[in-house]
Amino acid sequence: MHRRDILTLVVCAPLAARAQVVDLPDAINKAGRQRMLSQRMAKAWLALVHQTETRLAQSTLDRSMALFDRQLVELKAFSPTPEIRTTYASLEAAWSEYKSTLVGSAPSRAAVSALLKADARVLALAHQGTLQYEAAMGRPVGKLVNVAGRQRMLSQRMAKFGYALALQQEVPTAKSEIDKARSEFLAAMELLRRAPEATPGILDELALADGQWLFFDLALQRVRSGQTDRARTLADLYVTSENLLSVMDRITGQYAALSA
C-alpha cells in the first residue's frame, strides 16, 4: 500500500454519537468527547493557519462545533445534580467566548494566544463535568469510560501543540504539554489493556490504536525536531491524529456499552 493510503485508512470514519444522552455511561462518554472537541477544534484552526489539509481542517472545525453545540444541550438537559447543572452553565458561557475566537475572524498567528487561552477554559470545565458524571455513576467501569475518552482528548491536544510549536508560538509550553500528554497517553493505554473489564474486542481495538499511535508519534516527533519536509510532516500530523482519535472513540464506546 502507498504511504498515504495507510495514513488515511481511518480518518474518514465518523465519530459515534447517539441523538441524546441515554444513561450515565453515555453521559461520561459524551462529556469526555466535549473535552476532545475543545482540542480538536483548536487543532483544526491552527492547521488552517498553517494552510495544512485545509479542506479537511475546515470540515473538521465545522462539524466539531456543531457536535459540541448539540452535546452541550444534551448534557445540560440530562444533568442529574445541581452541581453538574452549574458546571454546564459555566461551560456554556466559556464555549460562547471560545466560539467567538474560532469564527470571529480568519485563523491567524496574531490570534493564537487568545485561542489557546479560550480552549483551555473550555477544556477545564468539560473535564470537570466528565469527572462529575463519573462520580454520579459510582462504578469502576465509569472510570474506564473516562480514561478511554480522555485518550481522544490527548491525541488532539498533542497535535494542537505540535501545530503551535511549528508556528513558534508558546514554545516552552507547547513542548512541555506535548511531553506531559505523551506520558499520560502511554500510561493510560497500559491501564486500559490491563483492565479486567477489557473484552477481546476491546483488546483488538487497543492493538489497532497502538499501531495508529506509532504513525502519530512519528509525525509528532518530526514536528518537534523541525523536520525539513514541513508540509508533509504537518499533513501527516493532522491525518494520523484523526486516525488515532477514531480508534479511541470506538474503544470509549465499547467501554460505555459494558454497563448497558
146 in Cβ contact with 131 (< 8 Å): yes
Q: What is residue 226's predicted lDDT score, i.e. its pLDDT?
A: 81
User: CB atoms < 10 A from the CB of 108, how many?
Assistant: 11
Kindly calculate the radius of gyration of the chain based on its CA atoms and give it in whole angstroms: 17
Cell numbers 444533568 label which residue? Answer: 79
Minimal CA–CA distance to 71: which of 117, 113, 109, 22?
22
Predicted pLDDT at 98 = 98
Residue 133: CB partners within 8 Å, gap ≥ 6? 24, 27, 28, 31, 84, 142
Give 171-209 pLDDT, tens digit per residue.
999 999 999 999 999 999 999 999 999 999 999 999 999
pLDDT tens per residue, range 203-250: 999 999 999 999 999 999 999 888 657 899 999 999 999 999 999 999
Burial grade of 13 (CB within 10 A; 0-12, 13-18, 19 or more): middle
Q: Give pTM, 2 decimals.
A: 0.93
String of DSSP letters for 34-79: HHHHHHHHHHHHHHHHHT-SHHHHHHHHHHHHHHHHHHHHHHHHH-
**Extents of the domains making up the chain:** 22-257
CATH number of 22-257: 1.20.1630
Closest CA to 136 of 24, 26, 43: 24
Grid-cell match 458561557, residue found:
93
- Would you place residue 10 in the very low, low, confident or very high pLDDT band (cuts 50, 70, 90)? very low
Mind listing the pLDDT tens digit for each residue in 139-151?
A: 999 999 999 999 9
Rounded CA-CA distance 178/182 in Å is 6
Q: Among residues of the chain, what percentage have pLDDT more than 90? A: 85
